[in-house]
Structure 1
Amino acid sequence: MGAKVAIIGRPNVGKSTLFNRLVGKRLALVDDTPGVTRDRRPGDARLGDLRFTIIDTAGLEEADNATLEGRMRRQTEEAISEADAVLFVIDARAGVTPLDAHFADVARKTTRPVILLANKAEGRAGADGLYESYSLGLGEPIAISAEHGEGLADLYDALKPHVDRVEEEEEARAADDAQAAEVARTDFDVDEDGEMIEEDEPVGTVERPLRVAIVGRPNAGKSTLINTMLGEDRMLTGPEAGITRDSISVDWTWRDRHIKLFDTAGIRRKARVQEKLEKLSVADALRAIKFAEVVVVTLDATISFEKQDLQIIDLVAREGRALVIAINKWDLVEDREEAWKKIRDANDRYFNQIRGVQIVTLSGIQGQGIDRLIESVFTAYDAWNARVSTSRLNRWLEKVLANHPPPAVAGRRVRLRYMTQAKTRPPHFVAFASRPEQLPESYTRYLVNNLRATFDIQGTPIRFSYRKGDNPYAVKKKRKIQ
């Protein structure tokens, strides 16, 4: 697992900028507005030859536990409790503020080693704040500039003992576990002389986790659903809409299957997104959809179906991702029979982009329907990877053409000669035809729907394209011999 290092400090001191610097990419949202980060976000950090997990946290603020800021602080406290070392960041240009002094008292009480960083210390502007930070009682400060990459060599020297210590402890535990497993091994075979026969253990392969993005409109219960799956308050939740800003990934195991869940910000209609910060959050959610394999579009059962839901589903279809629709807050619905009828009507009327989408009703807060949801996720994933042999496709094509041949255009029929599957994820089929540009779109939809029903490819987009075959009777120009 490696060492875990948490970055803490008051809002707007450059924690997310430092996080992005250490992971080597712009994962965390960065803006001049204080309080951009709300959840704790892990990332794989590299600093020289050091490899560790860095955790970005929300800015520390004094607030009541019931408020949003108080819940954000609890997320930061959780990050401190699970960290092997803590980076306490202040703004060297602003100097030591009362809020810095207050949370420095909290940091001194933790059993974790704390490294004091005076950020934004490039040039002379941060010199006074750097010297003032000695008063926090956290040892000698390290002057850095997260934005410009200055001072990272000193940070390396400070972090190396803690990262090395964790690695040595993990190696020692691994050796102890291996020795204990050898001692506990009592089931073995013996040969004719009574000697133990040692067998080579099979070399297993590491299963790559399935990437699942949870998306939807604001306040649909996405973070609450993920918290229930994990069995802990990993994501920041509350009655306020639009709490989640960053797309946070967490690892989860369901029935020995490894899954990487992506919690995303709520996606509102484009016309309503005005603030720069919300635009960044929505862009982060859209990136999560692009890199996911299965997307769970979460709808609020207490709110009627809206055009924005259809646009999100259409976006998933255009990106070519497997799709599952989750109807959350089902426990709050009084007339479930009537509500389910409306859902089915909406499915038949609007969800034409991906036929056969599985719709699962659930309650994220009570944990009802989660198993059915994940079963549907894996079913959609299997369909996303579906492959049909060329021989089966062409036998199917013969039957389709016999029952419903392409319409004649200008008195001449379009001939479909041959068909194959070009790729999967999602399934992409290619048909070779004469004059394919004259085929009406309605006939292509007929082929796709028939293909989906025949080979049971449900809950995933199907790509269908044509290629114009060479005319064997066309006169080819002979190459001139010079």
Structure 2
Amino acid sequence: MARPVVAIVGRPNVGKSTLFNRIIGERLAIVEDKPGVTRDRIYGTAEWNGVPFSVIDTGGIELADNDEMLQSIKAQAQLAIDEADGIIFVVDGKTGLTPSDQEVAELLYRSNKPIVLAVNKVDNPQREEAVYEFYSLGFSEVIGVSGAHGTGIGDLLDAAVAMLPQGADEEYDEDVIRIAVIGRPNVGKSSLVNAILGEERVIVSDIAGTTRDAIDTPFERDGKRYVLIDTAGIRKRGKIYENTERYSVMRAMKAIERADVALVVINAEEGIVEQDKHIAGYAHEAGKAAIFVVNKWDALEKDDKTMQRFERKIREEFLFMEYAPTIYVSAKTKQRLHRILPLVDHVADQHAMRVVTHVLNDLINDAVAMNAPPSDKGRRLRIYYATQVSVKPPTFVLFVNDPELMHFSYERYIENKLRAAFQFEGTPIRIITRRKSSSEH
């Protein structure tokens, strides 16, 4: 099930990024006391009272330089309205109510989305009275908070979680493989979806960003059931969406959450750009199976080394995803399209693979015998026992004498041994190191 999404909206310099960092518990967004300086990632995950959800910091959605400030704020609010299940509208209790706040409030109010109004910078008891001024905006949930000091954050999260939808928004049977087609605008995602399905299910044009909506398309092939999730995204009038590259990452994240396998689509004509790495990185971090699909392969002038050179470039640029296979296709000419679904089946199986415990421990023992674990200040790491605790992705726990002694290079060595023995093609592997308690034998 996909996590519900909470968007943080407000005019510049009200403390959206500080609040975002406070909620997700990490300092992912750059925070500075100047308007418009958010430059880091805009999408995080959080959990409150057992409810997991995703958080969008709309201040990180950058628009064209020539946009008027108010237009930019309204554009960010519109993105939040489109994407979020609930909205935290942030205002500045220190500055007080402004015309910009009223403009955004009107836009949000018409959306019919559930909204919590967070009056930020209520840093001391003297400022608590400032909260009452904002009731004039007409929202029923108004909470004074301090993103900087953490005051009121618990009450805010209680209200935010309460407004989110409960239960699954959609669920498919366990045997259905969910495929997210992800990539930046104009790499050919919709054309690829159409070509795989063999019919024009998605509107396609040559202009970047013309897909009307994210579309789930269930289908069957050779007795197997799939769902294709096309993430090209909602595009409305004007240049709001076309002007924000990070918007494509935001849409990709939502689709990745719901997927088993991510098809990371790369434009062969344009090559690999930084945005491709951002989008692929989210699939990796989410623990999803992944395949690099190099589209528009027919458009390249090739010699007998072209594919080899492109493959080398992929491996150099995506060092963190050495496990992901690559397929070179053309949605236009149907070149190699018939190989995509068998490859999807293969990596989905690898993603869900379980290793028998005694076989796993034999492998770990052999690995330790071949290459002794690291030591530090005379103390050597000892691995007592290993077990696989989950799949999708395959996750292993190593019980050791001291987790601090596990060096990342030795963990990588163990991962390589697992891959050599069991393949795990197309899927990340998670390795967790835990101290063996005295009660475990």
> Which TM-score band applies after superposition, normalised by the shorter structure?
0.5 to 0.7
1:306 corresponds in structure 2 to 273
Counterpart residue type for residue 255 of structure 1: D
Confirm whether residue 256 of structure 1 aligns to residue 223 of structure 2.
Answer: yes
1:232 corresponds in structure 2 to 199
With over 3 angstroms needed to count, the CA separation of the structure-2 counterparts of 1:274 and 1:366, relative to structure 1, is closer
Does the 8 Å contact 2:233/2:251 carry over to 1? no
1:442 corresponds in structure 2 to 409
What is the aligned-residue RMSD (CA, Å)? 3.1
Misfit runs of 4+, over 3 Å: 272-282
Of 342, 358, 361, the residue aligned with 1:375 is: 342
With over 3 angstroms needed to count, the CA separation of the structure-2 counterparts of 1:326 and 1:354, relative to structure 1, is same
1:458 corresponds in structure 2 to 425
Q: CA deviation at 1:430?
A: 0.3
Secondary structure, counterpart of 2:265 in structure 1: strand
CA distance in 1, matches of 2:327, 2:346: 13
With over 3 angstroms needed to count, the CA separation of the structure-2 counterparts of 1:241 and 1:336, relative to structure 1, is farther
Counterpart residue type for residue 383 of structure 1: Q
Does the 8 Å contact 2:181/2:230 carry over to 1? yes
CA distance in 2, matches of 1:414, 1:451: 19
1:69-468 equivalences in 2 (<5 Å)? 208-265=175-232, 282-468=249-435
Q: Higher mean Cα deviation, 427-436 or 451-460? A: 451-460
Sequence identity (%):
34
1:161-192 deviations in whole A, cap 9, x for unaligned?
A: xxxxxxxxxxxxxxxxxxxxxxxxxxxxxxxx
With over 3 angstroms needed to count, the CA separation of the structure-2 counterparts of 1:319 and 1:361, relative to structure 1, is same
With over 3 angstroms needed to count, the CA separation of the structure-2 counterparts of 1:426 and 1:358, relative to structure 1, is same
Counterpart residue type for residue 328 of structure 2: T
Does the 8 Å contact 1:218/1:266 carry over to 2? no
Does the 8 Å contact 2:401/2:436 carry over to 1? yes
CA distance in 2, matches of 1:427, 1:421: 7
Q: CA deviation at 1:354?
A: 3.0
Secondary structure, counterpart of 2:179 in structure 1: strand
Q: CA deviation at 1:351?
A: 2.7
The higher radius of gyration belongs to: 1
CA distance in 2, matches of 1:439, 1:322: 26
Counterpart residue type for residue 382 of structure 2: R
2:3 corresponds in structure 1 to none
Does the 8 Å contact 1:245/1:264 carry over to 2? no
Secondary structure, counterpart of 2:305 in structure 1: helix
Secondary structure, counterpart of 2:343 in structure 1: helix
Does the 8 Å contact 1:328/1:362 carry over to 2? yes
Q: How many aligned positions are there?
A: 272
CA distance in 1, matches of 2:333, 2:376: 58
CA distance in 1, matches of 2:240, 2:377: 49
CA distance in 2, matches of 1:291, 1:399: 37
Q: CA deviation at 1:291?
A: 0.5
CA distance in 2, matches of 1:281, 1:409: 45
Q: CA deviation at 1:338?
A: 3.4
Q: CA deviation at 1:337?
A: 3.2
Does the 8 Å contact 1:295/1:323 carry over to 2? yes
Unaligned 5+ runs, structure 1: 1-30, 38-119, 121-205, 474-482
TM value normalised by structure 2 = 0.57
Counterpart residue type for residue 203 of structure 2: L
TM value normalised by structure 1 = 0.52
Does the 8 Å contact 2:268/2:296 carry over to 1? yes
Counterpart residue type for residue 331 of structure 2: G
Secondary structure, counterpart of 1:253 in structure 2: strand
